[in-house]
Amino acid sequence: MLDSLKQLEKYLFYILGIIIPLSILAVFQYAPQERVMGDVQRIFYYHVGSAWVGFFAFFIVFIASILYLRNKEPGCHRISLASAEIGVLFTTIVLGSGMLWGRSAWNTWWTWDPRLTTSLILWLMYLGYLFLRLALQGEENEKQQRLAAVFGIIAFVNVPLVFFSIRWWRTIHPVVIEIGGTGLSPRMIQVLIFSVLAISMLYLQLVSLRIKQLKNKDRLEKIQNILRRKEGMAP
């Protein structure tokens, strides 16, 4: 299982080289033009893909944090840190593309739609996670990792509460738009699935790169420590 994953990881970069241009081509050429919104609707394919990856990334942070607290494996911490960083990146893309789309489709930059608001709060919470990491710099490794894992769990448990509270909040106000209700043509669905796949693979590639980088950083620190100790002992 692990070996085949490693094999896949080797080729992931090359696969991405093919799949990303293909997905761009599909979004602009293969997908039909939407009748009402026109070309702007094409944002949708990457918007949904990034939203899915953003949420998935935070789910990975949650799982890796639990695993870390259970068996204190630094590898789990690296996974959760890498995933949180990439997750923040994709959530930023979601918010940006969502606002652009909302501006042209609903003529407003922002509405208090539950999905939109939840994404924003998700984004703020995981920026907090990264900020916590920043605040912990200079502490012992074990403490850094433990506290980050604790917050990773707290933040994720809060997500459904945030979503439902915003959904039920201000029930007097009409929900401005329901995306789920609009019918998508088969071609649109094909392109959507393809672009979600492409972005998921991009996520995997970015996370694995970042994990490798973090691993190297840890190794470098160890080597530096050993060298320093040797220098100290030298006559």
- Cα separation, 195 vs 45, whole angstroms: 6
> Minimum Å distance from CB 94 to another protein?
17
- Cα separation, 28 vs 199, whole angstroms: 16
The residue among 75 and 114 lying less far from another protein, judged by its C-beta, is 114
The residue among 109 and 169 lying less far from another protein, judged by its C-beta, is 169
Angle at 71 (CA atoms; ends 70, 74), nearest 5 degrees: 120
Q: Which helix (H) or strand (E) holds 103?
A: helix 74-105
Angle at 233 (CA atoms; ends 227, 235), nearest 5 degrees: 120
- Cα separation, 91 vs 126, whole angstroms: 10
| 141 forms part of the interface with another protein (CB under 8 A) | no
Query: Given the structure tokens 């490693």, which residue do they identify?
Result: 6
Mark 148-177 with x for binding to another protein (rule: CB under 8 A) and - for no binding: -xxx-xxx-xx--xx-xxx-xx-x------
- Cα separation, 100 vs 98, whole angstroms: 5
The residue among 133 and 210 lying less far from another protein, judged by its C-beta, is 133
The residue among 46 and 85 lying less far from another protein, judged by its C-beta, is 85
Residues 65-84 that bind another protein (CB under 8 A): 69
Residues 85-124 that bind another protein (CB under 8 A): 121, 124
The CA R_g of the chain, rounded to the nearest whole Å, is: 21
> Minimum Å distance from CB 161 to another protein?
4
| 63 forms part of the interface with another protein (CB under 8 A) | no
Q: Is 34 helix (H, G, I), strand (E, B) or coil?
A: strand
The residue among 16 and 147 lying less far from another protein, judged by its C-beta, is 147
How far is Cα of residue 44 from the mean position of the Cα atoms in its chain?
Answer: 17
Residues that bind another protein (CB under 8 A): 69, 121, 124-125, 128, 131-132, 135-136, 138-139, 143, 146-147, 149-151, 153-155, 157-158, 161-162, 164-166, 168-169, 171
